Amino acid sequence: MQVFRSEIKVGLLVLVSFILFVIGIFVVSDVRSLWDKKKTLTILFQYADGITAGSPVWYAGFEVGGVKEIRLAPGVADRIAITVKVSPDARVRKDSRAEIRSLGMMGAKYVEISPGSPDSPVLASGDTLEGKSPASLSEIIETGGKVASGLVDLVQNAKELIFEVRNDYTVKDTIQNANTLIDQLKERTADLRPIMENVRKVSGEGGHELVSLIKEVRATNVSVAKKLGSIETELNKTLGQAGRGLSEADETIKGVHSIISSNQDNIASILDHLNETSQHLDALSEDLRLHPWKVVWKADGKLEPANAEEWREKGRIGPYGEK
Given a contact cutoff of 8 angstroms between Cβ atoms, the answer to whether 57 and 113 are in contact is yes
Domain with CATH 1.20.58 in the chain: 137-254
Those residues whose C-beta lies under 8 Å from the C-beta of residue 121, and which sit 6 or more positions away, are: 93, 94
pLDDT tens-digit map of 250-271: 788 887 777 777 777 777 777 7
Task: Specify the fold of 137-254.
Answer: Methane Monooxygenase Hydroxylase; Chain G, domain 1 (1.20.58)
CATH architecture, range 32-130: Beta Barrel (2.40)
End-to-end CA, the chain: 182
Q: How confident is the model at residue 313 (pLDDT cuts 50, 70, 90)?
A: low
pLDDT band at 86 (very low <50, low <70, confident <90, very high): very high
Work out the pLDDT band at 81, boundaries 50, 70, 90: very high
CA dist., res. 93 & res. 260, Å (int): 85
Phi, psi of 303 (to 5 degrees): -95, 160
Q: In the 3-class helix/strand/coil scheme, how is the chain assigned residue by residue?
A: CHHHHHHHHHHHHHHHHHHHHHHHHHHHCCHHHHHCCCEEEEEEECCCCCCCCCCEEEECCEEEEEEEEEEECCCCCCCEEEEEEECCCCCCECCCCEEEEECCCCCCEEEEECCCCCCCCECCCCCEEECECCCCHHHHHHHHHHHHHHHHHHHHHHHHHHHHHHCCCCHHHHHHHHHHHHHHHHHHHHHHHHHHHHHHHHHCCCCHHHHHHHHHHHHHHHHHHHHHHHHHHHHHHHHHHHHHHHHHHHHHHHHHHHHHHHCHHHHHHHHHHHHHHHHHHHHHHHHHHHCHHHHCCCCCCCCCCCCHHHHHHHCCCCCCCCC
- Cβ neighbors of 193 (< 8 A, separation 6 or more) are 221
Task: Locate CATH 2.40.30 in the chain.
Answer: 32-130
Q: Which residue has the higher pLDDT, 172 or 151?
A: 151
pLDDT digits (tens, 9 = 90+) for 173-202: 666 777 787 777 777 777 667 777 766 665
Q: How far apart are CA 205 and CA 81, in angstroms?
A: 24
